[in-house]
Structure 1
Amino acid sequence: MGVKSKAAAAIVVLLLFLGSLWLQGGLDYHWDSCLKGYNQVNTLHQLYNSSGADRAEGPQLLEGCPGQTFQVSRLLSHLLAAPANTSDVLLQPYLSSWDELVRFMEALGPMVGLISKEIETKTSIIRQLALLAEGNPEAELGPDIHSINSVNVEPGTKNNKEASQHTGGYHSVRSMIWVELNQGLVDFHHQTDSGCRTLLRLHRALLWLKLFLEKLAETPVAGRLRSPSELCREAYKSTLANHHSWFVRRAAELAFIAMPERGFFFKLVCVQRQEELSTALNRVVQAIGEVYDRTQKALEENGMLDLP
């Protein structure tokens, strides 16, 4: 094996290791130490644009992409199902949104897809905690939490029926916070696998993806569209990089180099032009923003934005 082949193989092995420890609290925790289940089924393939202007003109549909694993229409449907009442987020559609975002990252190639493995681990932790909490009297909710988690949809709709079947302690972001605080599961000084700490890591990663998609939807500046690699790197530097060590940031740079060109994203979202890509991604970004803001508020109100 030549020198170049050995170097390439070494980089792949390194990224495999780093990919499994990507999110802060995973990667940084293990690196520093070294130095010293719900799957929501949603078959919607067409969704209405939620903007007032489009409602006035009539519904505009977001089509599914036949033959693809990642479906932007499915991602949007999960995101739109997540907000509950005026301030909460339902965990099942939230985690289903992450399932689709994992497929999105995996579609970008093996280097970027490695990042998704840690995210899958995080979503599995919350799902497992929800299963363990079923039938546990200590995980019962107070009456105020039940009222907070009532879904803001019309009675008899699909979302209302699905939500009514899952009213345990891990029903929503706020119910999970309430239960884990009351059970003493949240440690503000040491690393644990609590649902709240795990959610915080997902929350940080969601901001990174939101900003990346937002930048990818931007119209050309001076007739030039910047490369997805450049945009993803820029989004990372202003979000997740703030929680990563120098070593992790350098590894991230290697992963972004392998990101596909813009034409690949046209195919991934089933569009032909940048204007169509912008329309589809802006809907997703708006939906992510609603979920992110609600989660941010819930974590901030309970002093959980800096859990170790």
Structure 2
Amino acid sequence: MATFDTKKKDFDLVVVLEAFQQCRQSDDTLMLREYLTAFTELCRFFKLTGALFGFVARDLEDKIRMLNEHLTADEVHYVSVQSMIQYEVDHDLTKVIKGNLKSGSRTLLRLHRALEFILAFMSRLRTGDENEKSSVIASEIYNQTLARFNIWILRKMAGMAMYMLPSKKNLIDVMCKQDYESVMRTLGEVVTSGQPLYDITQKVYEDNDILDLP
């Protein structure tokens, strides 16, 4: 079983919540900078859940870095999820690699798929039985979501990582600087705020027929 330092509170669930809330504008535009802020914080969570989940964090950090570089280089077209995808679709850039930078649409799609797993996992943590094993929850959710996009070796690595997850209570202990009841409430708010971001992004990809970018 993985060893957890529950005194180390590098991860703050409230930061994720606030970033999700600020990401979605009144017209359903999704601001890319706030989206990446939420994922940067989520990377800290993966790092706290054990060394074997480090490969997830490293992959997410690589995608965040590339999107931040796109945003820094072009704050007009890459300011929102919608503007980025529209720009790349219009200029046939959705599959282009420039130097070390892959297309923003392709890169964001990987984060989008991870978000489906994260939201479903958090939802089950919130509503499941207190004694339910987090490893069982993660495995079930992974097989329903990310597994269908991962090659065999990644599925094996993910399986090992999930097997090493701690109990649900110990996992909750590293999720926030709040008591258990407060974390449960915040988890609900994160899922409620994050699900529309996933749904809006999913529709943008569907409308542009780019859900299967290689």
TM-score range, shorter chain: 0.7 to 0.9
Structure 1 residue 182: Cα displacement = 2.4
Task: Give 2:18's match in structure 1, choosing from 77, 91, 95.
Answer: 77
Matched, 1:263 2:169: yes
After superposition, residues 12-27 of structure 1 pair within 5 angstroms as: none
Asked if 1:111 is matched to 2:52, the reply is yes
Equivalents in 1 of 2:72, 2:160: separation in Å? 37
Structure number with the higher helix fraction is 2
Cα deviation digits, residues 252-275 of structure 1 (max 9, x gap):
1111111122222332224444x5
How many angstroms does 1:276 deviate by?
4.1
TM-score by length of 1: 0.62
Q: C-alpha distance in 2, partners of 1:252/1:67? A: 24
- Partner of 2:210 in structure 1? 304
TM-aligned CA deviation for residue 117 of structure 1: 0.3
Task: Identify the range of structure 1 (245-254 vs 282-291) with the bigger mean alpha-carbon deviation.
Answer: 245-254
Q: Which residue is equivalent to 2:90?
A: 182
1:94-153 per-position Cα deviation (integer Å, ceiling 9, x unaligned): 00000010011111111113211011000111111122225xxxxxxxxxxxxxxxxxxx
**1:208 maps to what in 2?**
117
Q: Is the 8 A contact 2:9 2:177 kept in 1?
A: no
CA change 1:246–1:169 in 2 (3 A) is same
d(CA) in 1 for partners of 2:137, 2:178: 19
Residue by residue over 1:66-121, the C-alpha shift from the partner in whole angstroms, topping out at 9 and shown as x without a partner, is: 96211111111101000023332100000000001001111111111321101100
- Which residue of the partner structure matches residue 295 of structure 1? 201
Is 2:12–2:177's contact at 8 Å kept on the other side of the alignment? no
Q: Distance in 2 between matches of 1:283 and 1:130?
A: 28
Helix, strand or coil: the match of 2:102? coil
Q: Between Structure 1 and Structure 2, whose CA radius of gyration is higher? A: 1
* Higher relative contact order, chain-length normalized (CA < 8 Å, sep 6+): 2
Q: Aligned partners of 1:85, 1:272: CA distance in 2, in Å? A: 32
Structure 1 portions without partners, runs of 5+: 1-65, 135-167
Check conservation: 1:119, 1:202, Cα contact below 8 A: yes
DSSP-derived class of the 1:98 partner: helix
Corresponding residue number in structure 2 for 1:4: none
User: What's the CA shift for 1:185?
Assistant: 0.8
Once the two structures are superposed, the pairs formed by residues 31-42 of structure 1 within 5 Å of their partners are none
Which structure 2 segments of 5+ residues have no match?
Answer: 1-6
| Selected match of 1:120 from 52, 61, 67 | 61
Q: 1:91 aligns to what?
A: 32
Following the alignment from structure 1 to structure 2, what is the Cα–Cα distance between the partners of residues 173 and 272? 34
Matches within 5 A, 1:123-272: 123-133=64-74, 168-187=76-95, 193-220=102-129, 225-268=131-174, 269-272=176-179
Q: State the superposition RMSD in angstroms.
A: 2.1
1:7 corresponds in structure 2 to none
**1:21 alignment partner in structure 2:** none
What TM-score comes out, normalization by structure 2 length?
A: 0.88
